[in-house]
Amino acid sequence: MQEVVPIPTTHGTPQYTRMADALGAKDSSVRLQAALAVGSNPDPGFLETLVERCAVEPDFFVRDMLSWALTRLSPEITLPRVRRELDSERAQARSQALHTLSKIGDRSAWAWITRDMLRDTDDEVARTAWRVAVLLVPDGERKDLADELLLQLGRGDRTVQLSLSRALVDLGDAAGPALENAAAHPSPEVAAHARATLLLRQNPEAGFDAAVDEARRVVNLGPERAAAAAAQAAETAEAAGPAGAGELAGASEPAEANAATPAAHAAVATEATVTAHAAHGAQAVHAVTAEETAHGLTAEATATEEENAGC
C-alpha cells in the first residue's frame, strides 16, 4: 500500500500538481488513495478539482471517497459549489452532487431539491434525489413529498422500484393513506408496486422480491380471490396436520391455492435477504482500503443500491 501523501497548502507547487494529477490517474487504486489523502488533509484549493472529478469518475468507491473529501471542507464553501452541479447537463454530476448533499446533511439544501430532480429521466439521478429528499425534508412537508414520490410508482426495474419503496417506507405515516389508494390504481404495475411497498411497511424483514410477488398475486387475482386462496391453503395445511404436511408439499394444487401465502413469502424472503446481505458484506470488506479503515470509513455499496449506487 502506498504511503498517503500529505497535501501542501501552497498551490502551484510540484507536490500539489502531482496530487491533482493522481486524482485523474488511470489506476483506480491511485485515484482512491489520492482522494483519501485530500480528504485527510483538507485544503480548500482542491474544491474545484474534487467537484470536477465527481462528474467523471467511473469507479463507485472512488466517487464515494471524493464525496467524503468534499465533506471534510467547510460547508460554507462546499455547498454553493455543489449546488451548481445540480444544474449540470451531465447526469453523473447531478447524481453525485445530490449524493454529496446527503453526506453533508445540511437541511438548508432541502430548498434545492426540485420536482424536476425527483422526476429526472435518468434513473440514478432520480433514485439519489428520492433518498436525499427523504433525508432533508422538513416534517411539515413530508406528506407533500410522499404525494410527489407516489407519481413514480411502477417506474423502472427492480433496483429503481426498490429505491422508491425504501423512500416511501422511510416517510412513514405520511405515505400510508396515499399508498393504500394507489394499491387500487388501474395500472397493474402501479398497483403491484404500491402493494409491495405497503407489505414492506408492515413487515420490513419480508424482503422486496417476496413483497412484489405477493402484491402481483393479489393484483392478478383480486383481493377477494387472493384472500380466499390463502385461506384455502391455510385450511388445507391445518387439516393435514404434521403427518400429512410432507405429502401435501409434493402434491399438485390448483393455481390459486398453489400461490405462496404471505407467511411463506416472508420465510423465503428472509433466507434470501440473509444470503444477499452476506454476499454484499463480503464484497464490501474486500473493497475497503487500509486507509479507509484507519479513518473509520466504509464505502457505501449500493444499488446496487441497491440504494446508493454511485450516486
pLDDT tens readout for residues 130-150:
999 999 999 999 999 999 999
Let me know the angle formed at the C-alpha of 294 by 292 and 297, rounded to the nearest 5 degrees.
40
* C-alpha–C-alpha distance, residues 221 and 258, integer Å: 13
Nearest to 247 by CA among 261, 233, 237: 237
In terms of pLDDT, which residue wins out, 190 or 306?
Answer: 190
Residue 104 Cα distances to 72, 86, 187, 244, angstroms: 9, 15, 38, 58
- Could you tell me which of 103, 101, 106 has the C-alpha nearest to residue 117? 101
Return d(Cα 188, Cα 53) in angstroms, integer.
Answer: 42
Report in angstroms the alpha-carbon separations of 265 from 77, 224, 268: 50, 19, 5
Express as a percent the part of the chain with pLDDT over 90.
55
Output the pLDDT for position 224: 52
CA angle 92/95/100 to nearest 5° reads 120
For 74-139, where are the E strands, in sequence order?
A: none
pLDDT for 225 equals 53
pLDDT class for 290, splitting at 50, 70, 90?
very low
From residue 102, how far is each of 2, 60, 64, 109 by CA, in Å?
A: 30, 16, 12, 9
231 CB contacts (<8 Å, ≥6 apart)? none
Helix, strand, or coil (residue 258)? helix
- State whether residue 54 is helix, strand or coil: helix
Question: What separation in angstroms does the CA of 74 have from each of 33, 42, 69, 251?
Answer: 21, 9, 11, 66
d(CA 154, CA 180) in angstroms, rounded, equals: 15
pLDDT at 12: 66
> What's the helix, strand, coil split of the chain in %, to 5?
70, 0, 30
If phi > 0 it is left, if psi is from -120 to 50 it is alpha, else beta; for residue 167 that is alpha
Residue 51 pLDDT exceeds 80: yes
Enter the DSSP assignment of 6: P
Q: Residue range 252-268: average pLDDT?
A: 38
Return d(Cα 210, Cα 266) in angstroms, integer: 7
pLDDT attached to residue 274: 34
Tell me: the pLDDT tens digits for 78-105? 999 999 999 999 999 999 999 999 999 9
297 compared with 193, residue with greater pLDDT: 193
**Among candidate residues 206, 128, 13, the one with its CA nearest the CA of residue 214:** 206
